[in-house]
Structure 1
Amino acid sequence: MTAPVATPKTLSAYEQSVAKVFSDDFAFSIPGYQRPYSWTTEQAGELLDDLLDFMGADGEGKGALNPYFLGSVVLIKGLAPESEVVDGQQRLTTLTILLAVLRELAESSKDKYMLNEFIYEEGNDFSGAVDRYRLTLRPRDAEFFREYVQRKGGIAQLKDLEEALTDSKQNMKDNALHFWTKLQSLPEAERKKLGQFILQRCYLVIVSTPDLDSAYRIFSVLNDRGLDLSYTDILKSEILGHLSDGSQNEYTDEWESIEDELGRGAFQNLFVQIRMIKRKAKAQGTLLEEFRTYVRPRENPTEFVDSVLRPYARAYAEITESRFESSAGADEINAVNEDLGLIDNTDWLAPAIYFLSKYRNESQLLLKHLRDLERLAAGTMIIRTNFNHRMERYGKLLRAAEKDEDLFQEDSPLQLTDEERQKIIQVLDGDLYNTRVRVPVLLRLDGIISDTGAEYDRKIITVEHVLPQNPAEGSVWLDWFPDEEERSEYTHKLGNLVLLSRRKNGQARNFDFDKKKQQYFQKGGAAPFALTSQVLATDEWTPEVVEGRQKELLGGLKTAWRL
């Protein structure tokens, strides 16, 4: 298909064979603000397997008749070959690695030369063409890619490279060696046909846009359709793309350092929290739309990174990882952060980040705010306040906090109402086992009565009844609880529940009390939970014992949460 002539004001989209893509028509560059090369051997290996399968044995598969589409590439490109890649870095880089491996494995010098033309454009003194690679990666990866992938003989050196590498460079190395191992086992004729198939029968949709703004729009549409992009990638391009080269490199390093520290998933969630802090309401549009409207980072990109992204990222990590540091009060603050981590939603995170950033140097005031925030978050979790009402409440809280209102007044959005407190007590004093909050409530309670600061693996934590739900005939349980109605009243109550750090054992649940304590509640000679250790110190389990424990445990929660 012939490409239309593009002018600086034209947006165009057309199919191009890989041979045409890696030709003199394009000189691809990955701007410094793009995220690193991230395809692993899983994605790269899947691409190669798909190509081989589509090509079929002896080149007689589906590809003999039908083209193979590799997806889209979004470029900022005018009339000249220079093309800034907005989306498509992963595909273009992986295809270059694949062609480089095919070049290195080619047995004929002629084949090596012809394959090299799709990786490297030799200069010509007569035409004025200059030496250049078809694809230039981000500044921090470009030299490595040239040295070990694009240059002839580079992959042979790559096999012996043992130095520690960044994730992006390690991915390049792993993918190149994966391709090498896979293709080396194929006959030379099949490798040649694969190269021909990739270059002649594989196509990319090239979307060329004249400027950054139109590229963003295309980028966003492709992202909405589920391609391997994220809104933080788009915002990164949008925020850092207009900086000068020197500032762009500096702030790209800073951005990626923050992303690496948090991890990609947490980094994306951080932007959700920043949106909430600035918007102070449930999202009404996409995150991108609301970020542009309410955060407006493009107005001053450096200020956004320095004064918003970096401090909020620091607070995010300190809260979610419970690693706040201070000369005073750090242990207490981190204990509250641990308690916040028990909440079964993260809607509280935006105000927590705001409080920590605002009161970082006032530990006691920060502790007071976080304690009341945990109280509010736990309370609304227990009474199952719905998402819309939670977001409305936290929006009011953020507005009040920004106005420096007294958040400890009774009518503050940070404080539980009388009605909410009564509902919370009702849930806690009811059949707690039958609620969705039994594990976080019991873990919070365990922290209250524990003085060891023990940490548990929460992945395998279960709630067990001391008095079984279905005690066996002739068991001591029926001696202690002969009345079925009374037994039913206590079975699912807080006072009859303990925590186990193991999966439940259906048979052991019905053991008599002494055997259950020795073989089920204890693990390695001791119970890992203070809540469970209390039961081990009890000689019998009667209605009076359960009732007394119910009052004691409920009292502990009422004191901690000021109910």
Structure 2
Amino acid sequence: MPEQRYDANRQTIGTLLSTTSPRIEVPEWQRSYSWGSDEIEAFWHDLLGFEQAYPGNNIDSQEYFLGSAVLVTGGATNLLLDGQQRLATATILLSALRDARRQYKADAATRLQSKYISDHDDATGEAAPVITLNIYDRDFFRSEVQEERVGNEAGPKPRLKSHGLVRKARQYFAQKVADEESRAGGGEEGFKRNLRLSNVLCNHMSLVIVYSSDEDNAATVFETLNDRGIGLSTPDLLRNLLMRRAKGPEARQRVVAAWQTVLSIADETSVDEYLRHFWVSQRGDVKARKLYREIKSTITQEQIESVAFSAELEEAAPLYRDLAKARDDDEELKRLLEGIRMLGAKVTLPALLAGYSVTEQSGNKSDLRKLAGALTTLYVRHTVIGGRESTALESRIYSVAAELRKDREFGSAIAKLREFSPDAEEFTAKFSHASISRISTARYLLRELEHARRETQEVAVELSDRVHVEHIYPQNPIIPKWDNHAQLINRIGNLTLLGKRLNTSIKNGAFETKKVKAYADSDILLTRDLLEYEAWGPQSIECRQRNLASSVARIWSFPGESVSAMAGERARWQLGENYDQDLDELPEMPS
């Protein structure tokens, strides 16, 4: 038989917290406390619902299964590789029960504290918490939850998001415990209600605990339990792997420091998306669900050092955040990035990440501007207007990103993007009939069309809080709806831009006097051009959209691309030209 490297058994929350020796410690490389309102409320409602289903002594033989936990035994502490969110949350609830209990019977609160939360260590003369969280949370958690404050003593100041979540959970449970005691009648009955809740939590809510004396084996169990691809567990699994492979305490500290930078971008962009985009920008396409396994396999096979890999992640993380938030000192590049952000074209970020890496030393952003323009053109032609399948686009951009990082050839990268794109003629034809329901995408397209109308390129149509997308024939008209309302409402020809002041000053009608005056007062040429139309109807939308389409191949073009006469500037369409035939080509529903 193979050697048994782990075993498992069932334990209640109370047994685990009160009898595990030595104490439980969350490794420094594990993620911080992350449960928000949804998880905290679910935990409380699960406990309360289970308790109410078995009133009185009926609960004696019942258990509620909470899930699993993984512990590494045999060291100075028991390392908790999985289950920390549930155990930390249980401890927070116990602290709320303790504080409420002390108001009625202080010695009962002391017993709960010393058994499940924190006891006094006579050997050291210090408090010995039952569970210690990771390096970022341990001090705050100890002061906020595990130590009892005297009177109105102020609590610790939250300095991280996880600290705020701990405090929010504690405030939630304190209120819920108070409500339960009050409903029971307060006093002695409230105290009994408090005892009942702690009994349910400690003696009837259970976990399956997986024990192993081998950290690598326990980590494998952890990965098996938690590996769900690019989901929330991916950063934790990767950080776990890198910390385990780091050689010595100093290397581990360097990995921890690097990951502080990586995780710091979470307030502005997704760490999960960053990890995938960083990887594919170097290695090509990998599907989200396979990301961790792919990275682990490569790190293991190529013997990549944890510190070196973490340093690469640390260096690229702020750059990725700035790309996602459209930040750059170069104004033209910033504008291109802003367009990508408005389009929601995250698929382009790995190629941009590779491009920035290639130009890092030279500082020459000319090639970056060309690359960003080519990526935008491809995305608009292929996805926004062309409506083509997105998986193939991902694969092409990701392979281009990896090749660019290796061969450093921007010209080759742009050529590969162009050969995958619909040509200018097809793009122009599809634009003539396109509908756009996503507002930020419509705003971007109209912004670019407006800039193309102006030789100076000076127009403030960048920000959504200043410029709104206006449906000329409105979404909710006060006049009877047109028969083909759904087909026409989001046609590009029916959309324009208005400043916020003008947008709020007009009523929902169809080209009535107030709206015409608002258009005349607008600084936006696309909007003022509407004064050419005496009335507004389906034929006007068709005519205007064809006129707009005449310039799109020039706006969204690749470097060196020659635009044919058919796809380039054309004579303006007039009302009545091929109208019946064109109307038949309209889509049944907006795209």
Counterpart check, 1:365 vs 2:362: no
What is the one-letter code of the residue matched to 1:270?
Y
Indicate the percent of aligned positions where both proteins have the same amino acid: 21
Kept in 1, the 8 Å contact 2:97–2:194? The answer is yes
CA deviation after TM superposition for structure 1 residue 393, in Å: 2.0
- Larger deviation: 438-447 or 503-512? 503-512
Q: Contact between 1:460 and 1:501, CA under 8 Å: does it hold in 2? A: yes
- For residues 131 and 95 of structure 1, what CA distance do their matches in structure 2 show? 19
What are the residue-to-residue correspondences of 1:414-433 with 2, within 5 Å?
A: 414-416=417-419, 420-428=423-431, 430-433=432-435
Q: What is the CA–CA distance in structure 2 between the aligned matches of 1:62 and 1:175, rounded to whole Å?
A: 30
Q: Deviations over 1:432-472 (max 9, x none)?
A: 23798766533432454462243332899656356999998
Alpha-carbon contact 2:67-2:207 (below 8 Å) kept: yes
Separation of aligned partners in 2, 1:542 and 1:364: 44
Q: 1:409-435 deviations in whole A, cap 9, x for unaligned?
A: 69920324696222212212x222379
Summarize deviations over 1:374-403 as a string: whole Å, max 9, x none.
222222222223223213322442344234
Residue 481 of structure 1 is matched in structure 2 by: none
State the 1:336 CA deviation. 0.7
The answer to whether residue 130 in structure 2 is matched with residue 134 in structure 1 is: yes
Equivalent residues of 2:386, 2:422 under 8 A apart:
no
* SS across alignment from 1:31: coil
- 1:455 corresponds to 2:462: yes
> Structure 1 residues 129, 406: closer, same or farther in 2, change over 3 A?
closer
SS in 2 for 1:103: helix
Matches within 5 A, 1:13-92: 13-26=8-21, 27-56=23-52, 59-60=55-56, 63-78=59-74, 82-92=77-87
Question: Are 1:22 and 1:134, in contact at CA under 8 Å, matched by a contact in 2?
Answer: yes
State which of 429, 448, 453 in structure 2 corresponds to 1:444.
448
Q: Deviation digits for residues 284-312 of structure 1, max 9, x if unmatched? A: 961111222346697212211222x1333
Question: Corresponding residue for 2:393?
Answer: 390
For the residue of structure 2 that corresponds to 1:16, the secondary structure is: strand
What is the CA–CA distance in structure 2 between the aligned matches of 1:261 and 1:491, rounded to whole Å?
Answer: 39
The 1:547–1:315 alpha-carbon spacing in structure 2 relative to 1, beyond 3 Å, is: same
Map 1:490-509 → 2, pairs under 5 A: 497-499=495-497, 508-509=508-509
* Alpha-carbon separation, structure 2, partners of 1:157 and 1:41: 26
Distance 1:339 1:35 in 2: 34
Residues in 1 aligned to 2:421 and 2:66: alpha-carbon distance in whole angstroms: 60
Q: CA deviation at 1:371?
A: 1.6
Aligned to 1:112: 109
Which string of whole-angstrom CA distances, capped at 9 and with x for unpartnered residues, describes residues 163-187 of structure 1?
Answer: 4532222222332233233323410
Assess, with a 3 A threshold, how the Cα gap between structure 1 residues 122 and 161 changes in structure 2: closer, same or farther.
closer
TM-score (norm: length of structure 1): 0.79
Deviation at 1:162, TM superposition (A): 7.2
Task: Give distance in 2, aligned partners of 1:454 and 1:12.
Answer: 63
* Aligned position for 1:178: 172
Cα 1:412–1:295, aligned 2, differ >3 Å: closer, same or farther? farther
**CA displacement, residues 48-102 of structure 1 (integer Å, 9 cap, x when unaligned):** 3432332239952863442122222122224x68311111111111211222232
Structure 1 residues 76, 531: CA separation in 2 closer, same or farther (over 3 Å shift)?
Answer: farther
CA–CA distance in structure 2, aligned partners of residues 320 and 130 of structure 1: 47
CA distance in 2, matches of 1:291, 1:113: 48
How many angstroms does 1:405 deviate by? Answer: 6.3
**1:101 matched residue in structure 2:** 96
Match of 2:217 among 211, 214, 227: 214
Partner of 1:516: 515
Instruction: Give the TM-score taking structure 2 as reference length.
Output: 0.76
Q: 5+ unaligned residues in a row in structure 2: which ranges? A: 182-189, 558-562, 564-591
Instruction: Answer whether contact 1:461 1:501 (CA < 8 A) is retained.
Output: yes
Q: Which amino acid aligns with 2:249?
A: D
Q: Which residue of 2 aligns with 1:311?
A: 315
RMSD: 4.3
Q: Decide whether the 8 Å contact of 1:141 with 1:169 is kept in 2.
A: yes
Equivalent-residue separation in structure 1 for 2:491 and 2:53 (angstroms): 67
Quickly say closer, same or farther: Cα 1:285–1:549, change in 2 above 3 A.
closer
Structure 1's unaligned 5+ residue stretches are 1-6, 478-483
Q: Distance in 1 between matches of 2:396 and 2:91?
A: 52
Instruction: Give the Å deviation of 1:497.
Output: 4.0
Letter in 1 for 2:67: G
